[in-house]
Structure formats: C-alpha cells, structure tokens
Amino acid sequence: MLWVVLAVVVVLASVLVLLRQSSGLLALLWHDVVHQRLLNFFTGLSRPQRILKAVQKNATKGNPESVIAAIDHYCRHSEWAMNVGDEKGLILDSVVTEVNPSTALELGTYCGYSTVRIARLLSPGTKLITLEFNPDYAAIARQIIAYAGLQDKVILVEGPSGDLIPKMKQQHGIKSFDFVFLDHWKDRYVPDTKLLEECGLLRKGSVLLADNVICPGTPEYLKYVRNDPRYESRYFKSNLEYTKVEDGLEKSVFLG
C-alpha cells in the first residue's frame, strides 16, 4: 500500500514539475504542498530549518550579502521558499534606497530574508520593526538576522499584525513609518493598511511596498490603493520568487 501511495505521489509530482513554471497556482501547489512535505518527511526538518542550515553552511557570519546569496542559491537550486527572492529583491533594494527611511516596518518576517535585505540598507541609527505571527518562523529568523550581524538594527515582534500595529506608538515610540513592506497573509493587506491609516502611522510621503500582488495575488489591495485618491501607485512587473511565473510589487505613496 505504501508503494502505491509513493508511486501516485511521484506521478503527481512529475506532472506538477512540468507545469509549475507556467502556472502560478500549480507552482505554489508543487512548492508549498508536495515538495515541502516530501522534504519534511525525508529530512525530519522544516523548510525554515533547512534554510538556516544552508546559511550556516555557506554564508559568512556577519556578512549580510553572503547570507542573502546563500538563501538565494539554496532556494533557486535546492528548494523554493516564499522569500521576496533575488529578482524582486532588487526592486525592494531600489525602493528602500530611494526612500532612505528613518522608520521602517515589515509585515511578515518569515525566515528573515527580506528583513536582512532591508536592514542592511538602513542608515546608522535606523531600526526596522518586523512582525511575525508564527513563533517557529520567528525563532529561525532571529538566528538568520543575527548570523548576518544585523540584530542591532532589527526589532522582531511576534504576534498578529492586527494586534501589534495599534501598539506601535506606545511600545516603540513610533510617530509614523516612512516605509512599510507588506509580505504577510495576503488577506491582511487591506485591513492592515487601513489600520496603519487609522492609527496615524502613515504620514504624507510614506511608501508602502506590497509583494505577491499577482501571484498568489491581492486583488482587493490593488483595488484599494489604485482607487483611493490618497495613494499614488505604481506596479513593478517581475517574477514569482525563483520561478518564471509572473508576479510583481506594488509601490504606493501615501499622499495624506
């Protein structure tokens, strides 16, 4: 019976491998369901734990660029992961550099890949607050951020974004954010953007950058920022991390 199950899995996996580059949903199904579960079973480790091991084996401690390169190489050649990735990462880099924020917020830390990308570009004295709901992800992210030598530039807070955003002013002394990177649960993009507005955490000129607006997609968020006159939005076309499936980032400037 076990061999029959394994045979079915192999056949399904083979079909998905052929189609994953051309279909966003199939790509995510393959990477996040089939391949990940197979590797979890055979390695006894979670995907974040495997990424951490790749960093510890291949990156130079205290060197953020080498940590980014190690994760990109692992995720492109060994196992896909839901980082912003190398292609879209260059867009993220350019926006962070352009904004040069004195206050920055990331929604969705995951393993800390984009956290490292953002934090390494921040000016001295600037800190990035990053929110992560999953404590297992947060534990891995802390280790990767520390391995990159950026622990003094990052404040990682665990918990639901909807509970944490209203506490930003009181607990972290934040008046407003110059830059916000949205890369958490896609159904939280609109509610959390509205919460940032309601809490007075966006000022005139604040920049929101949202990932995965095409794949898996955030149609309600795009509708919101593109039709609200308080935002000026621009779409940056790219590819879903480590694939040829179309995806992109939406940059929205809050006009007040």
> 178, 212, 239, 250: which is the annotated catalytic residue?
212
**Distance between CA atoms of residues 226 and 230, nearest Å:** 9
The sheet with strand 246-254 has its strands ordered as 154-158, 127-132, 103-107, 177-182, 202-210, 246-254, 231-239
Q: Is 40 annotated as a binding residue?
A: no
Half-sphere exposure of 94 (CA within 13 A, CB side): 9
**Distance between CA atoms of residues 59 and 134, nearest Å:** 25
211 is catalytic: yes
Q: Is 241 annotated as a binding residue?
A: yes
Q: Is 211 annotated as a binding residue?
A: yes
167 is catalytic: no
Q: Is 197 annotated as a binding residue?
A: no
Q: Is 84 annotated as a binding residue?
A: yes
> 72, 106, 178, 211: which is the annotated catalytic residue?
211
186 is catalytic: yes
> 241, 247, 250, 251: which is the annotated catalytic residue?
241
**Distance between CA atoms of residues 172 and 201, nearest Å:** 12
Q: Is 167 annotated as a binding residue?
A: no
Q: Is 132 annotated as a binding residue?
A: yes
Q: Contact, 183 vs 212, CB < 8 A?
A: yes
83 is catalytic: no
**Distance between CA atoms of residues 231 and 70, nearest Å:** 36
**Distance between CA atoms of residues 126 and 119, nearest Å:** 9
**Distance between CA atoms of residues 236 and 255, nearest Å:** 20
> 183, 192, 247, 250: which is the annotated catalytic residue?
183
> 178, 186, 192, 251: which is the annotated catalytic residue?
186
Q: Contact, 205 vs 232, CB < 8 A?
A: no
241 is catalytic: yes
| Cα 25 from chain centroid (whole Å) | 18
Annotation: binding site for Mg(2+): 183, 211-212
Annotation: binding site for S-adenosyl-L-methionine: 84, 114, 132, 183
Annotation: binding site for substrate: 186, 212, 241
Annotation: binding site: 84, 114, 132, 183, 186, 211-212, 241
Q: Catalytic amino acids?
A: 183, 186, 211-212, 241
